[in-house]
Structure formats: structure tokens, C-alpha cells
Amino acid sequence: VDARNPEFVDVRTLAPDIIVEMRYAGADNFVGRPIAGYDAPVCLLTRDAAAALAAVHEGMRASGRAIKVFDCYRPTRAVADFAAWARDLGDQRTKAEYYPNVDKAQLFELGYIAERSGHSRGSTVDVTIVDRASGAEIDMGTPYDLFDPRSWPSDQSVSADAQANRRALAQAMRTYGFTPLQEEWWHFTLENEPHPRTFFDVPVR
């Protein structure tokens, strides 16, 4: 594998109507600004992961739903940018929205921020479900990227509807080979990912 030129594809080439809202390419995220390495709001994935995600999206068509992606391939320089932000304890601008119940000094210890991310291998996605007609996100109990135990898929404090919606998303993703993460309802990794030990740093553009 050429780490400078991995064979990533834009998921929209396989699913043209999938909704792409790459949060880290803009300022609407827990850092509050565009993140290093995100030069364009494009969902890049390995071809295997892109094909599987396109299949999940297509499978929801009959029920009037669709997939929205928040993050896909993530360069390692972006992960380093997150880590640097987490160490800057003076920057608390996004606390009320993204980590109201967590001390920023504990973000590493609690696993919300890490020095490495599976996203950098190109087969991990952050997604939710939307109503296809309106584009509105269905209720998942918490917003994307809320650093809180309520974001765990197994959390019982969110509404019954939200719990059911989380299960529906996980089941749809599992059907096409994705494995969920126990701490984030939105996070899934292709089980048979093609680059399980390679962390890429090519910018998203």
C-alpha cells in the first residue's frame, strides 16, 4: 500500500444521494474550527467500505430513510490536531455543547480523545439515519460527538424511540459487515477492513 496515495474513493461515486456533512471540514464540531487535513468536505473510504456503506444506504430506501455521514477517512494529522486541542485546557469554548458533564482534562483517560484513530485506516465511518424526504435526522438520543455515557449505544437513559433507532442503525450496518463501537452510537468499522494496520495521512481533498 502506498501510504501517500491510498486507493480511497469518494462514497458519492457509489451512492450519489447519500448525505455528506463532514463536520471536521468546517467549524461545527467539538474543536470549533476546521481540522487539519480536511481540505474539502468529502467522504473518502476504501473501496470495500464505500461499497458496503452504499449498500446500507440503498437498503434503507424502501423504508423512506437514508444515511448521513459525519466523518469517514481521517488523516493522522487531524487526530494529532484533536489531541493538541484536548491538551489545551484553557480552550473550553465548546464545553456546553460537546462535553458538559466531562472535565476536559479527562478526555484522554475516558477514551473520548485518542492518539490514534481507526478512521485513519480508511474503513471507519460516523453515520446517522435521516428521513429521506425531509433530510431530518431521526432521534438518536444525543447529538453526534457528544462526549458522554449517554452516547453509548447501550445507554438506557435516552428515550425508547432513540434506543430503537440506535438498534436499527446498528443492525443495518452489521448487515453489510460493519462492527459498532460500544462508546459511540454513530461509529462503525468494516469488519474485514483492507488496511487493518496502516494509518494514512493523506489530506482529504
Beta-ladder partners of 189: 124, 179
Q: Which long-range contacts (CB under 8 A, 24 or more apart) does 104-111 make?
A: 107/147, 108/83, 110/147, 111/183
Q: Is 183 considered catalytic here?
A: no
Q: With the CA atoms of 146, 150, 153 and 155 taken in that order, what torsion angle do they form, in degrees rounded to the nearest 10?
A: 180
Sign of CA dihedral 112, 200, 189, 20: positive
Beta-ladder partners of 124: 189
Of 7, 109, 137, 184, the catalytic one is 184
List the one residue out of 85, 130, 123, 121 whose CA is nearest residue 104.
Answer: 85
Q: Which cell is 75 given? A: 488523516
* Contact (Cβ atoms closer than 8 angstroms) between residue 20 and residue 43: yes
Q: Which residues are catalytic?
A: 184
